[in-house]
Amino acid sequence: MEGGPARPARSGPSQRRAKRGRLSRSAEFERVYRQGRSHGNRYLVLYTFPRGDAGTLDAAGPRLGVSVSRKVGGAVERSRVKRLLREAFTTVAERLPGDADVVVVARPEVRELAEREGLEGVRVALEELVGKAVEA
């Protein structure tokens, strides 16, 4: 074996969502849940909240928080769903205001969607909710 198995090409830094573009603290999630607007479908619930002055340091775009409960599946399934949600969010983030905080909550049915349709299915479900959020 020369150099080991071939690894798939990784996204470059320009395509990756920086960690600072994520919600990380419990208080940030709570603010979006309590004060934000929600839109849902069979697979996901999308909460959005304009952060206003809180985002002056990081105006690079909307910040994403992902919540996937154990009802979705085991650790492997949950991690896969979270990865797919983050990746799908990068394709629809430009439709949201740059100062928005966004939390995506995965419903248990999203696991079947991810297994059946993969990234494209998750992207379509998320895009539907982003469309509702932008119209509201």
CA-CA-CA-CA torsion sign (92, 135, 22, 61) = positive
Domain 22-135: state its class. Answer: alpha beta
What pLDDT does residue 24 have?
87
End-to-end Cα, the chain, rounded Å: 56
Nearest to 101 by CA among 44, 31, 41: 31
Regions of the chain with pLDDT less than 70: 1-20, 53-59
Q: Please say whether the beta carbons of 84 and 14 come within 8 A.
A: no
What pLDDT does residue 8 have?
52
Beta strands in 21-124, from DSSP E residues, in sequence order: 37-40, 44-50, 63-68, 100-106
In this prediction the pTM is: 0.81
What pLDDT does residue 1 have?
46
The domain ranges of the chain are: 22-135
